[in-house]
């Protein structure tokens, strides 16, 4: 009896400890990176003061097994590793994120321009729209011209630190001048198309244009 009690307690301890270990593994974000407080004279919102919300909570994407799939109306579909993405020329810019619900923040974003990322794939002549699919089942879309003409980037750093898991690691779209729901996080798949598409919130009635300052709802 005593022995089996001891066995039971040991098992319990093992389960609890292993649970804790895998948890700390999960929540590990950037290390040895210093957060920027301002950039080019613009004061940045500290990451700890930035809000965020997501339909299914934080997604934990493994850096090693991660692949970004780019396909649809392109000559050469590709599957990029995290390191390949970081290998492209990087760009930094201060951009405000404005959620349609009224909150927002100012951050320095660092990443790769969409047009740079898509260049090797060669977009087809008839393409008009780009869909961003995310690890949590979320999706949103943008006009191809919007992404190309406004130097829209996919960010892997915020305020000089690697995008935390809670914030969309490895990639968040910096959809400048569009409401927050157009800023796809945890992007896994980019599809180029010429079909109409309505993303997660857009299909529920939120504006597909989503211009900051414009109407929230629009059919």
Ligand X SMILES: Nc1nc2c(c(=O)[nH]1)N[C@H]1C(S)=C(S)[C@@H](COP(=O)(O)O)O[C@H]1N2
Q: Classify residue 57 as left (phi > 0), alpha (psi -120 to 50) or beta.
A: left
**Residue 156 sits in the site that holds ligand X (CB under 6 A):** no
Residue with the closest Cβ to ligand X? 180
Asked if residue 167 binds ligand X (CB under 6 A), the reply is yes
Q: Show the CA angle centred on residue 84, arms to residues 71 and 135, nearest 5°.
A: 55
180 contacts 163 by C-beta, under 8 angstroms:
no
Using CB distances below 5 to 8 A depending on partner kind, what does residue 52 bind out of ligand X, Mo ion, none?
Answer: ligand X
The count of other CB atoms within 10 Å of the CB of residue 21 is 10
CB 123 within 8 Å of CB 194: no
Q: How far is the CB of 52 from Mo ion (least distance, A)?
A: 9
Contact flag: residue 188 with ligand X (CB under 6 A) = no
**Residue 99 binding ligand X, by CB under 6 A:** yes
Q: One symbol per residue from 15 to 54: x for binding ligand X (CB under 6 A), - otherwise; what is it?
A: -----------------------------------xxx-x
Per-residue contact flags (x/-) with ligand X for residues 113 to 152, judged by CB under 6 A: ---------------------x-x-x--------------
Q: Is the peptide bond before 19 cis (omega within 30 degrees of 0)?
A: no
Residue (123 or 131) nearer to ligand X, CB: 131
Q: Which does 156 bind (CB under 5 to 8 A by kind): Mo ion, ligand X, none?
A: none
d(CA 104, CA 101): 9
Contact 99, 54 (CB under 8 A): no
- By CB under 6 A, residue 61 contacts ligand X: no
With b meaning 16 or more CB within 10 Å and e meaning fewer, what string describes 185-198?
Answer: bbbbbbbbbeeebb
Please give the structure tokens belonging to residue 202.
């857009």
CA atoms within 13 A on the CB side of 125: 0
Distance CA 184, CA 92 (A): 18
- Beta carbon nearer to Mo ion, 121 or 207: 207
Cβ proximity to ligand X, 118 vs 184, nearer residue:
184
Closest to ligand X by CB, 86 vs 212, is 212
The helix or strand, by DSSP H or E, that contains position 70, with its residue range, turns out to be strand 68-72
Of residues 77 through 96, those in contact with ligand X by CB under 6 A are: none
Q: Does 181 bind ligand X (CB under 6 A)?
A: yes
Q: Please give the residue ranges that form the binding site for ligand X (CB under 6 A).
A: 50-52, 54-55, 97, 99, 134, 136, 138, 167, 172, 180-181, 183-186
């Amino acid at each position: 009896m005593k022995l089996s009690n001891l066995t039971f307690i040991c098992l319990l301890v093992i389960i609890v400890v292993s649970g804790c270990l895998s948890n700390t593994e999960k929540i590990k974000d950037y290390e040895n990176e210093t957060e920027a407080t301002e950039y080019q004279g613009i004061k940045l919102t500290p990451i700890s003061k930035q809000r965020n919300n997501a339909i299914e909570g934080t997604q934990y994407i493994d850096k090693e097994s991660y692949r970004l799939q780019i396909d649809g109306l392109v000559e050469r579909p590709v599957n990029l590793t995290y390191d390949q993405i970081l290998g492209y020329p990087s760009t930094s810019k201060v951009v405000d994120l404005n959620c349609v619900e009224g909150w927002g923040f100012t951050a320095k974003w660092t990443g790769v321009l969409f047009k740079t990322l898509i260049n090797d794939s060669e977009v087809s002549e008839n393409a008009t729209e780009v869909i961003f699919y995310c690890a949590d089942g979320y999706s949103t879309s943008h006009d191809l011209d919007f992404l190309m003409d406004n130097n829209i980037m996919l960010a892997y750093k915020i305020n000089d630190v690697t995008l935390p898991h809670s914030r969309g690691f490895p990639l968040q779209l910096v959809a400048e001048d569009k409401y927050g729901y157009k800023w796809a996080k945890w992007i896994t798949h980019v599809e180029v198309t010429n079909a109409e598409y309505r993303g997660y919130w857009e299909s529920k009635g939120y504006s597909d244009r989503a211009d900051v300052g414009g109407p929230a709802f629009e059919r």
